[in-house]
């Protein structure tokens, strides 16, 4: 029994913020942002558009694509790192807004930018257990919730962006989610947190030790991918497409160089979307399916890294 991906959709808010727009709200330049991150544009949600609203738009699209109705789902699992409310969860909010029945369970998971790899792995286990036949997996991220427009922190504001993705997984005997490797190191949590973990800390707002995060990401993302391939007796030759978390183009470049990953197989959308946290790999996959680069039968490898620290890789047969 496998969790098979039936359909994927994504949603990006209408407002596009270019690097030029960023120079108007902080002390930065287009040149700095492009050379340090590879980002040129990012989508920003409106003030009154919530994290759940982004998820709802992605879910509406995937329901439209499949013709499925809310009552066709046993569960909604949402990955988010940026919801405005701790409860009700974003999955509960989507459940309520789109009239899912009481028999559809809903739950959020928190693994920051690795949330979609963790989430898909969980969905796979749920389906393999036999208890769930069809699961809606969503990632909704409004990372601009962390940007204080009255006091913009140029250290991280240029990279974060908003967006959502939705995936429908069904129990089938056809290959789907094949395997995953998930890792975490809680001792490093203090290097990247939405606010200081230490209650005595004088720091305000997000703690973002960019360079430390960068150094871990360039090693941990490709290493966990390599571990997953070794575990399955696969090489990069066997993989059709590699979809890494879109955090920084330099992280993707370093990963490709250090692990001799065939660059033509690596997806990068960061130039247009920035870092949409756990939504980034779903948005990137949706785009590759839409433009024909990813096709039915392809073996896709995801790899991601995020706060926690969390990191992981997952294999999906389309």
Return the range that interacts with ligand UT7 (CB under 6 A); candidates 44-52, 151-159, 223-231, 266-274. 151-159
Q: Among all residues, whose Cβ is closest to ligand UT7?
A: 210
Dump the DSSP string for 187-255.
GGGGGEESS-SSTT----S-EE-HHHHHHHHHHHHHHHHHHHHHHTT--GGG-SEEEE--S-HHHHHHH
* 311 neighbors 114 (Cβ within 8 angstroms): yes
Return the range that interacts with ligand UT7 (CB under 6 A); candidates 102-110, 132-140, 148-156, 198-206. 148-156
Q: Which of 18, 34, 36, 190 touches ligand UT7 by CB under 6 A?
A: 36
Is 216 an annotated catalytic residue? no
CB 165, min distance to ligand UT7, A:
15
Q: If binding is defined by CB under 6 A, does position 278 make contact with ligand UT7?
A: no
SS3 readout for 142-154: EHHHHCCCCCCCC
Q: What is the C-alpha to C-alpha distance for residues 36 and 251, in angstroms, rounded to an integer? A: 10
H/E stretch holding 118 reads helix 115-128
Set 43, 92, 95, 113: catalytic member: 113
Return the range that interacts with ligand UT7 (CB under 6 A); candidates 2-10, 99-107, 196-204, 205-213. 205-213
Residues 6+ apart with CB under 8 A from 166: 8, 9, 10, 55, 58, 59, 61, 62, 136, 137, 138, 282
Q: If binding is defined by CB under 6 A, does position 224 make contact with ligand UT7?
A: no
What does the block give as tokens for 117?
């790899």
Q: What is the C-alpha to C-alpha distance for residues 21 and 157, in angstroms, rounded to an integer? A: 12
* Crossing angle for the helix pair 51-66 and 90-97, to the nearest 10 degrees: 50
* 311 neighbors 183 (Cβ within 8 angstroms): yes
Is 273 an annotated catalytic residue? no
Q: If binding is defined by CB under 6 A, does position 275 make contact with ligand UT7?
A: yes
Set 92, 245, 248, 273: catalytic member: 245
Q: If binding is defined by CB under 6 A, does position 81 make contact with ligand UT7?
A: no
Q: Dihedrals φ, ψ of 134, to 5°?
A: -140, 125
Nearer to ligand UT7, 2 or 305 (CB): 305
Nearer to ligand UT7, 100 or 156 (CB): 156
Q: If binding is defined by CB under 6 A, does position 156 make contact with ligand UT7?
A: yes
CB 66, min distance to ligand UT7, A:
30
Is 245 an annotated catalytic residue? yes
Active site residues: 113, 245, 275
Q: Which residues bind ligand UT7 (CB under 6 A)?
A: 28, 32, 36-37, 113, 154-156, 158-159, 210-211, 213-214, 217, 247-248, 251, 275, 305-306
């Amino acid at each position: 029994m496998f969790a098979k991906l039936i359909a994927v959709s994504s949603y990006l808010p209408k407002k596009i913020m270019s690097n030029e727009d960023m120079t108007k709200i902080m002390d930065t330049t287009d040149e700095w942002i492009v050379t340090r991150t590879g980002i040129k544009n990012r989508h920003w949600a409106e003030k009154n558009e919530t994290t759940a609203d982004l998820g709802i738009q992605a879910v509406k699209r995937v329901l439209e694509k499949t013709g499925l109705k809310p009552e066709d789902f046993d569960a909604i699992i949402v990955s988010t790192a940026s919801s405005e409310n701790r409860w009700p969860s974003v999955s509960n909010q989507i459940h309520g807004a789109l009239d899912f029945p009481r028999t559809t369970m809903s739950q959020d998971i928190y693994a920051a930018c690795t949330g979609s790899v963790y989430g898909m792995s969980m969905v796979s286990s749920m389906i393999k257990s036999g208890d769930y036949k069809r699961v809606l997996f969503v990632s909704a991220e409004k990372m601009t919730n962390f940007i204080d427009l009255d006091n913009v922190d140029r250290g991280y504001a240029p990279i974060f962006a908003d967006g959502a993705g939705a995936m429908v997984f069904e129990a089938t005997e056809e290959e789907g989610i094949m395997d995953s490797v998930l890792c975490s190191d809680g001792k490093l949590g203090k290097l990247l947190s939405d606010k200081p973990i230490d209650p005595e800390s004088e720091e305000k707002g997000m703690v973002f030790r960019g360079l430390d995060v960068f150094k871990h990401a360039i090693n941990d993302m490709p290493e966990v991918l390599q571990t997953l391939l070794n575990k399955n007796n696969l090489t990069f030759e066997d993989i059709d497409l590699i979809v890494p978390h879109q955090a920084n183009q330099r992280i993707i470049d370093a990963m490709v160089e250090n692990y001799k990953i065939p660059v033509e197989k690596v997806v990068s959308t960061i130039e247009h979307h920035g870092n949409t946290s756990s939504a980034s790999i779903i948005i990137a996959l949706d785009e590759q399916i839409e433009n024909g680069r990813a096709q039915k039968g392809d073996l896709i490898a995801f790899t991601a890294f995020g706060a926690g620290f969390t990191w992981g890789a997952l294999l999906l047969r389309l």
